[in-house]
Structure 1
Amino acid sequence: MKKSVYRDKVLVKNKVILIHVPKVAGTAIFKSLNIKRTVHFHLTDYEREDPAKFQEFFKIGFVRNPWDRLVSAFFYLKKGGMKNKYDRYMQNKLSPFNSFHDFVYALDRNNHFKNKIMNEIHFKPQYLYLINTNGELDMDYIGSYENLEEGFKILKARLNKPEAVLNKFNLSNHKPYWKYYDEKMIKIVGDMYQKDIELFNYEFPFNRLL
């Protein structure tokens, strides 16, 4: 029997759907709330399984600046991620690239490779996790990685966990993301994630390059 996507007792009891978009502090959020980390389900998985619950539950998720998220995902997977089978597969897939620069320029040169990469869990556009079966954003709250505490307060209130404190996990040791980009790379990634950028009002911090 297939396991339900409505599997966490704390979330179900409090009628909350928490969408875990990859590389948007999901591990920190789940661990800080003492909730078992879930698969990266899409919003549509919940809608299709139980439309009544889907309509009733409070739907919350978090997003991140796409230029930042891509850097984070690249270095995370280059190190093998969580060392599971899929992350090892992705580590092998990224092994030909000695730098983030080489990776982004390869995406630009090879559309087939780019399309395959953008269909992988950690590189998939974020809006795809947050839309319903009609292709519409259907969330009650979308928080941001850049202002995580604000969204975390809303989530812990919904889950009746006022004592929860947001801790940091999976900390990276790479440089600030904007230092990995030249002007062409900014455009390449901006074009790849244009819909995320428009929907969630992101921009590249050009002032950091001065």
Structure 2
Amino acid sequence: MRNVYKCIRELIFLYKKYSRAEKVFFRDFIYDVDRKLVYLNNPKVACTSIKKSMFGERQNIHAYVPSVRELSAEMNDYYKFTFVRNPYERLVSCFEDKCIQHPGDPCWEGFRNLLEVRNFNQFIIRIYLIPNEQAEAHFVRQYNLIYDKKGRCLVDFTGKVEHMNEEYKSIRERFNLLPLSHSNRAASLTDRNWMDYYTPFTAWLVYRKYKKDFIAFGYEDEYRKLKDYLKNRKYETRN
């Protein structure tokens, strides 16, 4: 019980810290002047493959690509696109990559003390407590990435990574891009089903925090599927 109270006190302290913090979230627009093309970078959603498709194989593709945080007036006529992902899978990918496989990643610097955990339930609870305005791009709401404060969409096309082969094809052909490499730096350490990471409580937390993502991008049914899966898993365990 003492450990539970200690954990609660730590979480309250962290919540107060981040609720008082200045805004740190920013967008990352990858642009190609020659093609008049802009990709709104969405981490953990095939972003490495898309960058390589636009600029070719590079030793450090993330550092190589030209990017801006705000679009200039001359980019108004550029074609802008991005891709989204099931919020549940996106967070599992984020956890495996940044907490398990690459905990020293520089992009995690400002959140290392908060999210340096190897327990997925703790990870989700801590993510839940971080205000979206202070969220890092890997776990910010995708809705806030793609829509501005006035609710205006910042891109011309939003695809779903689950349908990427079909939906990216028209962009690739229109702008003469390279085929997708399907590289995945954060490939799962095991063959574990991503659904097995969740409990009914953490599934609810994610749905509550990312509800706009589920609704805006057509993932609402994923919450029902996950609840049914967890319910059946519990039944199978009992039997």
TM-score, normalising length: structure 2: 0.68
Q: SS at 2:164's partner residue?
A: helix
Aligned residues between the structures:
192
Q: What secondary structure sits across from 1:13 in the alignment?
A: coil
Shift of 1:62: 0.3
Letter in 2 for 1:98: R
| 144, 149, 159: which one aligns with 2:160 | 144
The aligned residue for residue 47 of structure 2 is: 26
State the distance in 1 between where 2:68 and 2:140 align: 12
**Cα contact 2:39–2:82 (8 A) shared by 1:** yes
Is contact 1:33-1:164 (8 Å) kept?
no
Report whether the alignment pairs 1:126 with 2:156: no
Is residue 102 from structure 1 mapped to residue 122 from structure 2 by the alignment?
yes
What SS does structure 1 have at the residue aligned with 2:43? coil
Contact 1:28 1:168 in 2 (8 A): yes
Greater helix content: 2
Query: For 1:69-96, what per-residue CA distance to the aligned partner results, in whole angstroms no more than 9, with x for missing partners?
Result: 111112211146495433355444322x
Counterpart CA distance in 2 for 1:6 and 1:82 is 25
1:144-175 per-residue CA deviation (whole Å, 9 max, x = no partner) reads: 111111232122123213x5244322123242
Cα offset, 1:107, TM superposition: 4.8
Give the counterpart of 2:34 among 2, 9, 13: 13
CA gap 1:167/1:106 in 2 versus in 1, 3 angstroms: closer
Distance 1:124 1:132, change over 3 A: same
Q: 2:49 touches 2:180 (CA, 8 Å); kept in 1?
A: no
CA gap of 1:194–1:159, structure 2 versus 1, over 3 A, is same
Q: 128-137 vs 138-147, which deviates more?
A: 128-137
Question: How far did 1:118 drift?
Answer: 5.7
Superposed CA offset, 1:114-157 (max 9, x none):
22796112111112221246331232211111111123212212
Q: Whose relative contact order is higher, 1 or 2, with alpha carbons under 8 Å and at least 6 apart?
A: 1
Change (3 A) 1:89 1:159: same
Q: 1:165 to 1:76 in 2, by over 3 A?
A: closer
Identical pairs, percent: 26
Q: Helix, strand or coil: the match of 2:82?
A: strand
Q: Conserved in 2, the CA contact under 8 Å of 1:21 and 1:62? A: yes
Structure number with larger C-alpha Rg: 2
Please state how far the C-alpha of 1:199 moved relative to its aligned partner: 0.5
**Gap change, CA 1:141 and 1:189, over 3 Å in 2:** same
1:8-87 equivalences under 5 Å are: 8=31, 11-35=32-56, 36-37=61-62, 38=65, 45-46=70-71, 49-50=72-73, 52-54=74-76, 56-79=77-100, 81=102, 83-87=104-108
| Gaps in structure 1 of 5+ consecutive residues | none
Task: Work out whether 1:169 is the aligned partner of 2:181.
Answer: no
Task: Assess if the C-alpha contact under 8 Å between 2:98 and 2:105 holds in 1.
Answer: no
TM-align CA RMSD? 2.9
Give the letter aligned to residue 39 of structure 2. L
Q: Which amino acid aligns with 1:169?
A: N
